[in-house]
Amino acid sequence: MDAPRIIATAADLVSVGESCRPETPVVLTAPEIEPGADPHADTWVLVATPTVKPMNAHGGIAAPGEPRAYVVDIDEHGVLKRARVVQVLQVGARQVRTPGQIGSDAMLADPELRRIDALHRPDGDMRPLLMEDVARVDVLREGIQDAIDAPHQPLAPAVVRRLEHALDALAAARLELEDALRYGDSCELARLRIVDDDRPCPARLGDVLVFLPDSPGAASGQVQPGCRPHAALAERTLAGTHIVARE
């Protein structure tokens, strides 16, 4: 895997192409933006990255959710299962923070795509999703305020009065979203509704594994990770539940 490169000239494109095997597929990626980049500045560049994607059973690139191909090696250390990969040349637009320089991180530029990504995070941390919602409310509030303050006064007073009520409601919505953020990284015991005491989960590093016998909302004999307060609550309230090990 090579580092991403800015494609500013035809020669850059040829150079990146020559570093790949001729049959390497070119994959177009969604536009990205680096944290701290000025959205109003013209700092967009085309970035090419030789990289790998997981392979499907037919030797193509595995789509999200599609079963992946594996290769199994057996040696003196045991069995090693490795995901098979396809070499690709990834190409996409990126707004950089420092002109002419590729930063270390970038996120999807489209807030809608960022939201979909955040909703399906494998670690279950929903705080980025809620922060996207806070940002959407802010954009809506700013848009309404700009219309009210427009120097050519396009809105009648009856409209402005109602928009001001809408702004109050959006300010209240923002406070609710900020409050929801405290619960955004919930443990599995809370997320699966095995317990619900409206207490935010503390940092997930202290999670413990909890054995759950037959209990409302839980399959028989399952083990789930939970934060310590919710593990203790489950032990107190659900007969036969007990902490089995630290995660």
Which residue, 149 or 196, is less far from Zn ion as judged by CB?
Answer: 196
Verify binding: residue 230, Zn ion, rule CB under 5 A: yes
The yes or no reply on residue 187 touching Zn ion (CB under 5 A) is yes
Q: How far is the CB of 202 from Zn ion (least distance, A)?
A: 8
Is 94 a binding residue for Zn ion by CB under 5 A? The answer is no
Minimum distance, C-beta of residue 5 to Zn ion, in the bound complex (Å):
44
First vs last C-alpha separation in the chain: 33
Binding to Zn ion by residue 231, rule CB under 5 A?
no
Among 190, 208, 218, 233, binds Zn ion (CB under 5 A): 190
15: phi > 0 → left, psi -120 to 50 → alpha, else beta; which?
Answer: alpha
Measure the CA–CA gap between 164 and 149, rounded to whole angstroms.
Answer: 11
Task: Tell me if 227 contacts Zn ion by CB under 5 A.
Answer: yes
Residue 233 lies near Zn ion (rule: CB under 5 A)? no
Instruction: Give Cβ neighbours of residue 170 (< 8 Å, ≥ 6 apart).
Output: 137, 140, 141, 144
Question: CB 120 → Zn ion: shortest distance, Å?
Answer: 21
Confirm or reject binding of residue 55 to Zn ion (CB under 5 A).
no
> Can you read off the two tokens belonging to residue 195?
């317990």
Round to whole Å and give the CA distance between 78 and 39: 51
Binders in 192-211 for Zn ion, by CB under 5 A:
201
Give the nearer residue to Zn ion in terms of CB position, either 4 or 184.
184
Which stretch in 74-82, 132-140, 185-193, 204-212 sits in contact with Zn ion by CB under 5 A?
185-193
Q: Is 37 in the site for Zn ion (CB under 5 A)?
A: no
The span of 106-114, 124-132, 215-223, 226-234 binding Zn ion (CB under 5 A) equals: 226-234
> Could you give the 3-state DSSP secondary structure of residue 129?
helix
- Of 72-80, 82-90, 142-150, 220-228, the window that binds Zn ion (rule: CB under 5 A) is 220-228
Give least dist CB 208 to Zn ion, A.
10
Could you tell me whether strands 242-246 and 44-54 are parallel, antiparallel, or unpaired per DSSP bridges?
unpaired
Determine contact, residues 155/148, Cβ cutoff 8 Å: yes
Angle CA(4)–CA(6)–CA(11) in degrees, nearest 5? 115
- Pick 94 or 230: Cβ nearer Zn ion: 230
CA 208 to chain centre: 25
Beta carbons within 8 Å of 204's beta carbon, 6+ residues apart: 185, 187, 227
Question: What is the contact surface with Zn ion in residues (CB under 5 A)?
Answer: 187, 190, 201, 227, 230
